[in-house]
Amino acid sequence: MAALSAGGRETRGLCGARDTVGDVPSGSLVLVVDYGAQYAQLIARRVREARVYSEIIPSDTSVADIVARKPAAVILSGGPASVYAEGAPRVDDELFSSGIPVLGLCYGFQAMARALGGEVAPDATREYGRTELSVASEAGVLHDGLPARHPVWMSHSDSVVRAPGGFTATASSAGAPVAAFESVERRLAGVQYHPEVAHSPHGQEVLRRFLYQIACVTPGWTTASIVDNSVDAIRQQIGEGHAVCGLSGGVDSAVAAALVQRAIGSRLTCVFVDHGLLRTGERRQVEQDFVAATGAKLRTIDAAHRFLAALAGVTDPEAKRKIIGREFIRVFEVATTEVATIRSAQPARFLVQGTLYPDVVESGGRSGDGSPTAVIKSHHNVGGLPDDLELELVEPLRALFKDEVRRVGTELGLPETIVARQPFPGPGLAIRIIGEVTEQRLATVRAADAIAREELTLAGLDRAIWQCPVVLLANVRSVGVQGDGRSYGHPVVLRPVSSEDAMTADWTRLPYDVLARISTRITNEVAEVNRVVLDVTSKPPGTIEWE
């Protein structure tokens, strides 16, 4: 039966025939099975860009557990393993008889082919990077009407050399005799390449066709639906209880607080802890802009001396993050008691945090084989919480990427000054000082940061960069000449980066004249600094923050 693609052209599919697949209703959830792919998160993002909600699950998730969640479709990610390697993750062939539509990508495509009776063999010629795809005369649903030859992004050392019985091979490449196959009647398909990356120019259209025309998913994942679903989940979790939210001054905690405020109203009290690690003007912005936009109750606590005392003598970055996380919680626990006393109510049992998906991943989630991933760096709200925490966490943004959070903030009516604000870590300037945190060093990095932000704003570059950490190398000194005399000051590092979600990033090519103004002003106006350097490292291999 004919169906319309996202571009409006008629292609073949079954979606007009029925709205369910077996016993699994066509709904709003797509599960991405992670086989250790570097692009698993990107697949999930691309599905969401097609207005369909997606979640990532580990490769050891059983078919019974998958079916129990009633997904509209399953996508098998790529991965670094060979399907023939000992211990390589496998696909349970029961998945393909469950009635759930499945799309295999790269390794997932090969594992799918093997499980269904196809043949996979080592490549005579490996394909990495840009590769030309040849679409067969029988192009199927995914490639129908696309250019007969077009570039895709490949990364494989094994290839499918024979499609499973009942499947049509719809594309090939120089190194992959079967680079795509489909069985539309069974709602199963796969491609050898990575449609989720920008280097596959027709990739998003291929994903949309699978979702809309093979899996028959109705797109409905919108910013408004995120807000509605989040508010419902918050109400269910908190019930008639009270909550506190630790505002940091950043967009994440502000949006999380605004969501909870919409869900439970006056039973939320926001607590802004001035830990002395803030940038210039941040306290004023929170106390004015956020309260004006939401009407939320806000209590500000001055705790600078407490945090500085706890950080005294500490130089290890992980130790800093954990100390700050611990002190945050302790301050919140005191604040909840004080707030309850003022209200003559029971203390709050819930703590709202603006944890995002990248925070969870970097702090050690689960890898594609179900084992813990490496801890890149703990986040104070993920890896630094004390074991005896007496507050139940409410994390309404935990499954979202930063760009989604910004759109939710706009939907909630938060002002541009908050929604468009560059990311700033909860541990604040403490992790932008390499070495011990002291009042003098905080004053130094705060002054340098204010100059950099001011010049970037004057140059109209705020939207061109994701963020620009200014890092003080407090344990490094270099000789300089200032005021016709010898100086022995610290260097600061400018780290302008561009990103979509902080999972990957590249350094931003700022105009030389802007860099020159920033450097001149910092070395002239910040007494302890006599050298400004530029960090031109991408992520990976470097993280955005230095600590």
* Burial of 376 from C-beta contacts in 10 A (0-12 / 13-18 / 19+): middle
Active site residue: 106, 216, 245, 270, which one?
106
Q: Report the b/e string of 281-297 with b at 16+ CB within 10 A.
A: ebeebbbebbeebbebb
Distance CA 503, CA 46 (A): 14
Checking DSSP bridges between strand 350-352 and strand 243-247, what pairing results, if any? parallel
Those residues whose C-beta lies under 8 Å from the C-beta of residue 457, and which sit 6 or more positions away, are none
DSSP per-residue letters across 32-61: EEESS-TTHHHHHHHHHHTT-EEEEEETT-
Distance CA 89, CA 83 (A): 8
* Burial of 441 from C-beta contacts in 10 A (0-12 / 13-18 / 19+): buried
Active site residue: 127, 143, 156, 196, which one?
196
Distance CA 245, CA 521 (A): 37
Catalytic annotation present for 196: yes
Contact 343, 331 (CB under 8 A): no
Contact 32, 72 (CB under 8 A): no
Distance CA 444, CA 437 (A): 11
Query: Per DSSP, which regions of 249-387 are E strands?
Result: 268-274, 297-302, 350-352
Helices (H), 214-303: 223-238, 251-264, 282-285, 291-294
Contact 212, 187 (CB under 8 A): no
The β-bridge partners of 364 are none
Active site residue: 194, 202, 275, 380, which one?
194
Instruction: List residues with catalytic annotation.
Output: 106, 194, 196
